[in-house]
Structure 1
Amino acid sequence: MQITSNMRRITSREHPVFKKLFKLQRSSRQRRDDGLALLDGIHLLQSYLASGRIPELLIVSESGGQHAEINQLLGSIGKDFGRADCLMLSDALFNQISLVKTPVGIMTLVRIPRHTRSVDSYEDSFCIALEAIQDPGNLGSILRSAVAAGVKDAFLSSDCADSWSPKTLRAGMGAHFSLRIHEDSDLIQIACQFNGNVIATALAGADNIYHTDLRGPVMFAFGNEGCGVSEELLEVVRERVAIPMPGCAESLNVAAAAAICLFEKIRQENSGESYSQE
């Protein structure tokens, strides 16, 4: 182990710190109340560090402490941040906290970022509005695609899956730290105030996305896996688009649909061709 001067060891599941970590992994209410989340694995920790943030706590299993890559990472953290607070757990205790089938042996306790900029300041942004996305895997995948496409802000309705749950974080693959995530958002108000084109995916009364001008400031709205975007939100968007599907499937997974929409905008922005609607 590279970090030893500030290392604590816990051997009992009755320890209050262990109980807190165990509950954080399983309770969205606990995460909201504490403003904390757990990152499981090396990649999420590396993404967090790359964003310039400092971990609250590093949690390492006994076997993880023998892992060469983890040791190297802990050494770099100690060099950059000084005496990082580090906790060692037995493998049995670590595995009780981790929800990964084969944990690598390191988790990170982090503070959940809070973003308070006014909605009025997003007029030049590329944004997404997510309404009632229920599956955390879908939510994380959308956030990952959004970051890859250059989206700056993600507005989530109050009935979306928890964006800081372990499954969402794993699916996001570090996207959370390159994106401003606004939970419990009033999507109708935000859509009305956004000074750009607000576009929603829909099945009825929608234009072909490939015949729609997506250049400039855009906010895409994506809806619930079963019901799509609500009628209330559809009433305030400026355009409705659909993805042509020549096959026999009735619809696309929302994460797949989001990726297609986001990267069709990128294609149009980078094509260098003059746009004419057909």
Structure 2
Amino acid sequence: MSAAAPPARIEPFRLRGANFNLLVLRLLDPRVEVVVPAIGDQFRRAPGMLRHAPVVIGLDDLAVRPDEVDFAALVAGLREHAILPIGTSGGSAEMRAAAQSAGLAPLRGAGHDTAPPIAVPVVAEPAPVAPPPESSITPARPTMFVDQPVRAGQRIWAQGADLVINGTVNPGAEVIADGSLHVYGALRGRAIAGGSDNMQARVFALQFDPELVSIAGYYAVRDGYGDAPMGRAVQVRLVGETMRFDRIG
């Protein structure tokens, strides 16, 4: 007797909403022949910094006509460096349309609804009651704990939380926290804090030697650490738009 055929699936696929942590590549210069070589230079100083990473092209800083940006050449140049541009953020409607013709869909951040407002009838309401005074205590941010080393090729993201690594972050690994990042060991991979644009986030490491460190989209690679005490216990924070490296202890 032949085996019974497996039952057919009722539905071949499902769609659901999800939030992802994506890097935004803010274009400060519209010239592809300037941007792509600059990215290549960063790759030479920090191999694998963005390799195979999906990125969003930020358009808010461009004050040029849409026809002055060759989006098709930009996409091709980024892919040559193994960067995967998936869409755009910000910019004028004309600029977004020009990018979309090169396959870059306009994206919006989670929680930003672009639907038109709905008109509702005005109804008389009773006088509002004064709300109770708000507590001055800020709710504690949740924390994600990782109790083993982070190997090359691994990516760990603490969504909406601080991240504590009790071990080494090896070269080629990436650790991301929407809040602050604590590494109780050697930090040798890529460290990203303030993933939700939290400029108050910080990075702490007992042995500071990362390939890349970033807070709220501002980043530095090894050549940009200045006088940071490499190999020591270090705290990284933003002062304005400048990254500061302070020795701990």
Greater relative contact order (Cα 8 A, min sep 6): structure 1 or 2? Answer: 1
TM-score by length of 2: 0.29
In our comparison, the structure showing a higher alpha carbon Rg is 2
Pick the structure with more helix per residue: 1
Pick the structure with more strand per residue: 2
TM-score by length of 1: 0.26
